[in-house]
Chain A
């Protein structure tokens, strides 16, 4: 007896399907929104920003520079701090911590819930899934690693005493590239760690240790051979910054080893994650 109320029937939908790009954005957006609301991520963002970014921004606003230079970003310590802005060790440290927290459940939660099948039974291939998750985590890291340095550059340019704005804008462009680099540099290792365990905590600790342990080993062996410095992700980061800002890496470092280390930290984790995804989701 329906008492005059019609039962709910299945109704068709005749809308147009969106291109695959929209779905990449959807996954990345979900990762971003979830993380940006998380207390742990917010705390790291705030503490990290205060320690690394806010102080130079404030001092710059009070004591203006003539113009924004590559030197002040990576070479000299001019801003009431004893390290150049991009070389601040806290910058790398908080980036690593953020990457560990943000990426820890990116893939591990899908492994735990077995929700891979919901993605891959749709036109989402492992490469698209991986790209989306990478963009999602990078978008959170970009708040700290890209947006804050750009704000710093803007403040320097806005308060600069000289008139060479073009040169300052060029350095700001380099900062954009450097910020993008650090954003992705730390995300890829986190994704890899997240793809090998179902436990978020293991993935987070694994990511931190994957960066921290080589730093210790590098410090020890660098006394024997300078190339051991390339084992440290922070050193690779700093050498890459030097190159982005137009400087060369120290002569004691073999360039080919540098490229190999870059490949090892940036590309290899992605390839490994892709392989894991193929195996787990596609039965290969």
Chain B
């Protein structure tokens, strides 16, 4: 796994509050979600990467370049809060930001139109940003972050204040950018959104990394939980459940008349389950891992509880 951002033992303190406590992680290529409760250190980590906060100790590299070599030309940042110059129109603002990121004037102009088209700002681009809705401002914030085609994109709450349609569009835009092989770090409170677009997740709390991994691994329950549906007579289904209990724990059975949905745990191989199906004479309709939602995984990480009600 190619690591694009590497942080090692970063410590950031604001007075007596430790925002990042020997924080170390590696951010791979792809869309990576950074999750954590309020005050966990997500925004501080992003600000450290941007040089907006100086860590007391520790070091980081972005694409192999440390803070001394100033890697910010290859980084695009979409801040969480309002930051757009209200007296400029979207086109002026985005092309100005392109220029500040090192683009020649003509290129910045051309590219601004392209990214504003991409984020869905049409003729409104010639209107002052101060008159925009929150959703449009979010789009312009994304446009200014990608105008210089950065290799690393840091998005802080990208769907903040957007309506459901706008959120869906924003997530699609992020996925589109992600398909070009960039590293996109998304900090968000909205877990189902992170789940939709991210390939990797970092969960932090109290300035420490407490869980990380590919989203598929994170959503995979640790107790080998599977969901299956069988069809047959009541007697057959009852016999199937009895046989299952000998080897696996049954978490839940949903009786649907001639069929039942069963959630089992401690499944390490499928052979025994298929044997039970044969022996009890039921039909197996489906059999698949019972994935957690990211919210379940998140809660499990913080509380150690089982969100499925086990």
Binding site for B on A (CB under 8 A): 8-15, 17-18, 22-23, 26-27, 30, 109-110, 113-124, 281-284
Contact = CB atoms under 8 A, between A and B. Distances in A.
B63 to A, nearest CB: 14
Interface string B180-221: 100000000000000000000000000000000000000000
Interface stretch (B80-88, B232-240, B285-293): B80-88
Main secondary structure of the interface of A (DSSP, over half): loop
A27 B52 contact: no
B149 A18 contact: no
A109 B85 contact: yes
B103 interface: yes
Given A18-B103, A118-B144, A121-B50, A10 B180 contact: yes
Given A10-B146, A30-B96, 10 more contacts: A9-B176, A10-B176, A13-B103, A14-B149, A18-B102, A113-B84, A115-B84, A118-B85, A120-B52, A122-B101
Contacts of A12: 149, 180
B96 A26 contact: yes
Q: How large is the interface on B (under 10, 10 to 19, 20 to 34, 35 or more residues)?
A: 35 or more
Interface in B134-181: 144, 146, 148-149, 173, 176-177, 179-180
B104 A18 contact: yes
A89 to B, nearest CB: 35
B100 interface: yes
B83 A281 contact: no
Given A9-B176, A12-B149, A18-B103, A122 B72 contact: yes
A283 B51 CA distance: 10
B100 A17 contact: no
Contacts of A118: 79, 83-85, 97, 100, 144
Nearest to A18: B102
A27 to B, nearest CB: 7
Contacts of A283: 47, 52-54
A14 B74 CA distance: 12
B118 A8 contact: yes
A113 B149 contact: no
B100 A9 contact: no
Contacts of A15: 103-104, 107
Given A9-B176, A10-B176, A12-B149, A27 B84 contact: no
Given A17-B102, A26-B100, A121 B118 contact: no
| Candidate in B52, B53, B100 with the most chain A CB atoms within 10 angstroms | B100
A124 B53 CA distance: 14
A178 to B, nearest CB: 33
B111 interface: yes
| Candidate in A11, A12, A15 with the most chain B CB atoms within 10 angstroms | A15
A10 B111 CA distance: 11
Contact of A117 (B70, B79, B100, B118): B79
